[in-house]
Each structure stands twice: as C-alpha cells, then as structure tokens.
Amino acid sequence: MRRFLMSTLSLSLLLAGGAVAAQALPAANLSAQAKVSMKEARQIALKTYPGQVVKQELEKESGGSGLRYSFDIKSAKATHEVGVDAKTGKVLENSVEGADND
C-alpha cells in the first residue's frame, strides 16, 4: 500500500510539472515566431510615445500579423498603450490608457 501511494504521488508531481512546462511553452513559441525583437519593438514604441515603459508583453491579437508587442508607456501626462507588430515592426496602436491625476 505504501509503495502504491509513493508511486501515485510521484506520478502526480511529474504530471503537474509537465502541465506547468506546457503553459510556459506558448510564450516561447510566440518569441520564435517574432521577426522583430522585444528590444527593437520597445525602441519603436518609445519613438512613438516617449516615456517610461511600465509593462511589456508579446501576445497574439487581431490586427496586423496577429502577433504583437504591447507596451504601456507612462509620461507626465498619461499612460499610452503602444502596440507594435512583432513580424513587421509597424505601429498598430497608440492609445491613451488613462490620465494620471498625481
């Protein structure tokens, strides 16, 4: 009985580890599909709207090639979301996220 419980616990931990690795895999796959690096896209975004990048991510989203970098860029006036196509480097979005009331 004890051997059975140890085997079951080991198998459960192995499967849980595989599930975590499977969730991380899509992000790596997205990076492999990008022709523009995060660093290059960040430079494009900051030329579009200068400020401080407070959030950045690579995501699948409609528009352009379907793969884009999204940057939240904060300035003294507002926070903008700037989207850059990860395959072409084209700016897909430059919109106000919300005004800062500091």
What is the predicted pLDDT for the residue at 36?
Answer: 95
CA distance 85 to 1: 56
Residue 64: its pLDDT value, please?
Answer: 85
Distance CA 96, CA 81 (A): 6
- Stretch (H or E) spanning 42: helix 38-48
Q: Give the domain ranges of the chain.
A: 1-33, 35-102
Domain 35-102 fold:
Nuclear Transport Factor 2; Chain: A, (3.10.450)
Mean pLDDT by 10 residues, the chain (102 residues): 50 46 54 92 97 95 89 94 96 80 42
